[in-house]
Amino acid sequence: MNTIETTDFAELYKNHMVQAERTKKAPEHWDKRAEKMAETCANPNDPYLIKFREMMDFTGAETLLDVGCGPGSISIHVADKFKKVIGIDYSTGMLAVAKRRAEQAGIHHAQFITCAWEESWDDLPRCDIAVASRSTLVMDLKAALIKLNRQAKLRVYTTHTVSPTFVDQRIIRLLGREVPTLPTYIYAVNMLNQMGIHPKVDYIRSRNCQSNFNTLEQFIEGINFSVGPLSEDEISRLTTYYHDSIKNGVSLISPTRDWAMVSWDVVPESELTL
């Protein structure tokens, strides 16, 4: 009989990613989005960043590892709490923006390194706290969680999607598409539990970083990025929807997005069930 105890959530997650037709994007894809993400997702007044910081316990911590750091959204926001900050990302464009932002903020104890989730982290120093903010939608989540637990000395903080889609339901209905769902935070909670880690789960309601569309072209590009190539008919429908929404003062997509903060105290690998 199948029960939650006998379910292999790591394998289920991988199968879900395949069904979602989710593939790893090339670094160049993120290079092109680095400047825009610095504007929309790294504002120090962003409720997401403020809440993330409030949820962290900095007790006894001097060093931070920020995995999938992007433009340094988290690492720069909490840099004042640490003596050494290390951010890693496989996008050199993101790292260039992070370095520039750190310099502009007068942060001289931050280091940004080109490194992917899938690469060896053996050359990275173990840090007191490891974070992975909005960067956990990887192909092998269990391997990622194990690496985070191994690389941190004290605590780990990760955020995952709550909704199974990045696309607003109104857009899905408008296009008449069957948009594949994505794995949510529930997978991470269950994987950690099966490994012998009992995480804490909190929630962050934040401004939707993808809701800033200044032009029709940006709106079409954003939807195309989320659902795949658009037909001429779909572009026509989205164009009408865009102009009607602007005319009536209605938001194009939901202005907020929910994230789940899944955090835990580090457990020695010898005590894990792997």
Q: Quick: pLDDT tens for 147-193.
A: 999 999 999 999 999 988 777 778 888 888 877 789 999 999 999 99
Q: Which residue in 220, 216, 222, 139 sits closest to 183, CA to CA?
A: 139
Tokens of 132: 């992975």
Statement: residue 85 has pLDDT above 90: yes
β-pair partners for 259: 161, 204
Report how far residue 126's alpha carbon sits from residue 19's, in angstroms, rounded to the nearest whole number. Answer: 35
Asked whether the predicted pLDDT for residue 245 surpasses 60, the reply is yes
pLDDT higher than 60, residue 211: no
What pLDDT shows up at residue 172? 80
CA-nearest of 85, 230, 115 to 167 is 230
Least confident of 79-93, 137-151, 225-239: 225-239
pLDDT score for 209: 62
State whether the Cα torsion 89-92-94-96 is positive or negative: positive
Looking at residue 255, its pLDDT comes to 67
Could you give the residue ranges of the DSSP H alpha helices within the chain? 9-19, 27-41, 47-55, 73-77, 92-104, 141-151, 169-175, 185-195, 216-227, 232-248
Residues 21-69 have pLDDT tens digits of 776 778 887 888 888 888 878 888 889 999 999 999 999 999 999 999 9
Compute the average pLDDT of residues 196-209: 89
- Specify the higher pLDDT residue, 93 or 2: 93
3-state secondary structure of 264: strand
For residue 206, pLDDT beyond 60: yes
pLDDT of the residue at 119: 96
pLDDT exceeds 70 at position 107: yes
8 A C-beta contact, residue 261 and residue 201: yes
